[in-house]
Amino acid sequence: MIIPAASDHYIDIVRIYNQAVVAGLQTADENSISLQEKLPWLKQHTGDKYIIYVANIGIEIVGYLAISPYRYGRSAFVNTAEISYYIEKNHQGKGIGTQLIQHAIHQCPYLEIHSLIAILLSCNSASIAILKKFNFKEWGIMPNIAKMKNGNVNHLYYGKHLT
């Protein structure tokens, strides 16, 4: 089931994000973050337009997707949003990411979002594959700007017009 996140989901959201940090190659963060550090970002997603959806199986939160502002405060981008998504490590490859992205795309008309952008590392092949599944296209590349433990990687912009 996919539902809007509530404050009691914040601990699980940070836990899942930190799993991705520890796994490496999924975020540009190299150190785990605390709930306190993530709280301003979480609170940015409690409005009518920008929201976090969580996927649960029973009472367990197994993933989340955030619809975030793109270039916050710049009116020309008011109908564009960034999506980011993370799946609990024991539930990856089971279609949860697909369900979350599909749900977000279906919500976009109600949120008045016409374009979605995903910003990711070029070494995150699983994320690139799922974006391509939904016909996201590579819109931009910033070559070798992410200095990862195994060397520099590209920062990619994938996008999709919804209208």
Give me the number of domains the chain comprises.
1
Determine the structural domain holding residue 84 and report its residue range. 2-161
Residue-by-residue DSSP string for 20-31: HHHH-SS-S--S
Residue-wise pLDDT for 6-32, tens only, equals: 999 999 999 999 999 988 777 878 889
For residue 123, the tally of other CB atoms under 10 A from its CB is: 17
Residue-wise pLDDT for 30-67, tens only, equals: 889 999 999 999 999 987 889 999 999 999 999 999 99
Residue-by-residue DSSP string for 38-57: HHHHHHTTBSSSSEEEEEEE
For range 81-103, the mean pLDDT: 95
Residue-wise pLDDT for 133-144, tens only, equals: 999 999 999 999
Q: What is the pLDDT of residue 86?
A: 95
CATH number at 73 reads 3.40.630.30
Contact in structure between 40 and 50 (CB atoms under 8 Å): no
Residue-wise pLDDT for 116-160, tens only, equals: 999 999 989 999 999 999 999 999 999 999 888 778 999 999 999
pTM of the model: 0.93
Rounded to whole angstroms, the Cα distance separating 26 from 36 reads 21
